[in-house]
Chain A
């Protein structure tokens, strides 16, 4: 079933269309959620979170746009998984996950929309394959070892790229006012 037809039918309450959407995206959403929750929750708990992602798609069908469905689902999945971790007080096991930025005063703190724009712009300026390494680790919570295996790079190379990515991100975000 074409994506456009699937979306139209979901918006009309056709559960067979939602089934088709799940057939397409359950593997991807499962990977997004499990990468984040695997150190803190059981697979059954993660399945509940994945299910909630598609329930959100059903409830907010008007927000689904053709050509952007995977991105929307992926973003919602990450958001729900990260919220689960926060409620449990668990941190992701990432390499130096904290950046020291400026802007301590309320006047210097940016609005959320502006911060979002600058973060996206900063990540997009990272050269490949550094950008991919950075996103695999800090967005998808893949370990250094996993990234090394998937991208066929040494672990030390991965760590170097992550460090360069952090420095670049800090430089750009600080320079742009975050």
Chain B
């Protein structure tokens, strides 16, 4: 029997010998490809339920007002209202308006104009709203649109921070109010673990515009254009509208849970010293002293009018030198910081707002 030696070698594990790294491949493109495939998987699985609710919310808004509110603040108001049982309080609306930055940056390539219309950001959680327009008049009636791969560049944290910084980003399913025209909205949600630096410059590179159809029933993705659309924008500065509430003046002991070895299954409860909890309108982050990442859940923000808002775990960073962990949380609805009554943590711990 004849056998190929190269096939027999497939039985061997890798890394048997050290080889030279001389491949003419783009490492950054490989990273982008990998992350975009992962984000697409997450987005496809996660957001379809929201889309149906958003459609109902926008229909309701039109009925009540009689006039469609198509300015950018209105679009984000509808988006967040849909996440909050179709309702935002006046205080929440005010918070949104304070954190919306209108950019209106347009880039045209490969027959499509992509406009970064506006950004809502509290420095940790950022939403970027785009419109894409087909220059040849093609009707944009897909279920949703996204660009993949994409790349986001954010500056490194200051040297003294000791935190490893990472970002997660994905495309949300959003409703196109007019499926008969040649334009469609896109929404990207970005979370930067370990917070961000006010006034820092972000750069965003989008490529390959994709139209997705049949969400929930067997998705079909069609590449509309292999273009490149690049954007730059600056996050709000401290002098402007970036606000936060530092909830702790002294460390507080809360309960958290360890994970079973090599799994995401919570194991036993432990007491940890939480040294910092900072609340922002769309996110929060806590810092605690421990040698591994723990599960801190549930965390809820209670407003003075009794509204309860749940914090959703977003990401974690660990400082190995000081053995501290920082958790980032995100909120589905904006929080008016001056309306916060208290924040509740596991272990029946309540921290009053100052």
Contacts and interface: CB of A to CB of B under 8 A. Distances in A.
Interface of A: 1-2, 5, 7-9, 11-16, 18-20, 22, 26-28, 30-35, 43-44, 46-48, 50-51, 54-55, 58, 62, 68, 70-79, 82, 92, 94, 97-104, 109, 115-116, 119-120, 123, 132, 135-136, 138-142, 150, 166, 169, 173, 178
Nearest to B37: A55
What 3 A-B pairs come out closest when comparing CB atoms?
Answer: A74-B14, A16-B166, A34-B23
A98 B14 contact: no
B5 A94 contact: yes
Contacts of A97: 4-6
A51 B193 CA distance: 24
A82 B34 contact: no
Contacts of A20: 164
A77 B292 CA distance: 31
23 contacts: A8-B259, A11-B264, A14-B315, A16-B193, A18-B38, A22-B34, A30-B25, A35-B23, A43-B26, A48-B33, A55-B37, A71-B13, A71-B15, A82-B10, A98-B2, A99-B2, A99-B3, A99-B5, A99-B8, A101-B3, A135-B12, A150-B20, A166-B5
A100 B25 contact: no
A102 B1 contact: yes
A34 B25 contact: yes
B17 A31 contact: no
Contacts of A79: 10
B304 interface: no
Nearest to A37: B23
A5 B31 contact: no
Contacts of B21: 27-28, 30-31
B2 A72 contact: no
Interface residues of B, number: 51
Contact of B6 (A15, A16, A94, A116): A94
B176 interface: no
B13 A14 contact: no
A26 B1 CA distance: 38
A26 B31 contact: yes
Contact of A119 (B8, B26, B30, B262): B8
Contact of B37 (A34, A51, A74, A139): A51
A48 B6 CA distance: 22
Contacts, number: 185
A30 to B, nearest CB: 4
A33 B23 contact: yes
B19 A35 contact: yes
Contacts of B315: 14, 16
Nearest to B16: A135
Contacts of A142: 19
Contacts of B29: 44, 47
Contact of B13 (A5, A26, A74, A100): A74
A75 B2 contact: no
A166 to B, nearest CB: 7
Given A35-B19, A139-B16, 18 more contacts: A5-B318, A8-B292, A8-B293, A16-B167, A16-B315, A22-B31, A30-B21, A46-B23, A46-B25, A47-B29, A58-B38, A70-B15, A97-B5, A98-B5, A99-B5, A102-B1, A119-B12, A135-B9
